[in-house]
């Protein structure tokens, strides 16, 4: 079953579905991002898949196509301060609920990537490996990932010494080297740096 066919099957019971995913739970720096997308029922977008399986160039192209073809979409964030205050899982849930609310649309079912659903008013279901199962969730994963990568590239201009555009805040060898050299800055997540050796 293709990702598009999976969604078509769900729409037999829930005509308007929202795909929801987040990006940036793992990095040592920056906000966590989430996206919510409502695609038209007949909209099959060639190449849409789990954003981690796509090249950066392919994600960028799909990002524009998803936005142009979506009935509604919203990209939201939760800040480093919120991550520190309520932990990363809850912050990701908060970003997701903001994205869903930001659609400003009625829907029948929100399909959330992963094993947990955020606190929202409408009906929601968690879909494990959803970004490789549902086109709507995969589309959301692409929007969240591209938006977050672009944000990290902007931060790279403000904090060039960390080279955020290369590692996007993830705990790579380069990032750890820069942290050891310069110490953390205000967009680093203190709770994520405790494990640093």
CATH number at residue 124: 3.30.420.10
Partners of 127 in beta bridges: 113
Output the pLDDT for position 104: 94
Output the pLDDT for position 196: 73
Q: How far apart are CA 101 and CA 66, in angstroms?
A: 19
Q: What is the pLDDT of residues 156-192, one digit of tens each?
A: 999 999 999 999 999 999 999 999 999 999 999 999 9
Range of the domain at 48: 3-154
Q: Is residue 82 part of a domain?
A: yes
Q: Is residue 61 part of a domain?
A: yes
CA nearest to 2, candidates 48, 36, 35:
48
Total domain count for the chain? 1
Q: Is residue 195 part of a domain?
A: no
Q: What is the pLDDT of residues 40-89, one digit of tens each?
A: 999 999 999 888 889 999 999 999 999 999 999 999 999 999 999 999 99
Q: Which pTM was predicted? A: 0.96
* Cα distances (angstroms) measured from residue 79 to each of 29, 90, 147, 192: 10, 12, 14, 14
Q: What is the pLDDT of residues 104-146, one digit of tens each?
A: 999 999 999 999 999 999 999 999 999 999 999 999 999 999 9
Q: Is residue 185 part of a domain?
A: no
DSSP secondary-structure letter at 7? Answer: H
Other C-beta atoms lying within 10 Å of the C-beta of residue 8: 16
């Amino acid at each position: 079953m293709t990702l598009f066919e999976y969604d078509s099957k769900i729409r037999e019971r829930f005509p308007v579905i929202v795909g929801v995913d987040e990006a940036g739970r793992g990095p040592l720096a920056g906000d966590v991002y989430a996206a919510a997308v409502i695609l038209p029922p007949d909209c099959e977008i060639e190449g849409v898949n789990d954003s981690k399986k796509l090249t950066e160039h392919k994600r960028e192209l799909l990002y524009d196509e998803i936005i142009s073809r979506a009935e509604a979409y919203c990209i939201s964030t939760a800040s480093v301060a919120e991550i520190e205050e309520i932990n990363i899982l809850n912050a990701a849930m908060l970003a997701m609920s903001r994205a869903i609310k930001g659609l400003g649309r009625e829907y029948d079912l929100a399909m959330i990537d992963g094993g947990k659903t955020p606190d929202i008013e409408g009906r929601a279901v968690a879909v494990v490996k959803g970004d490789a199962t549902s086109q709507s969730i995969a589309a959301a994963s692409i929007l969240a990932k591209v938006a977050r990568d672009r944000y990290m590239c902007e931060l790279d201009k403000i904090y060039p010494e960390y080279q955020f555009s290369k590692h996007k805040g993830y705990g790579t060898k380069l990032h750890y080297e820069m942290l050891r050299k310069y110490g953390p800055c205000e967009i680093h997540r203190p709770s994520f740096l405790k494990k640093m050796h």
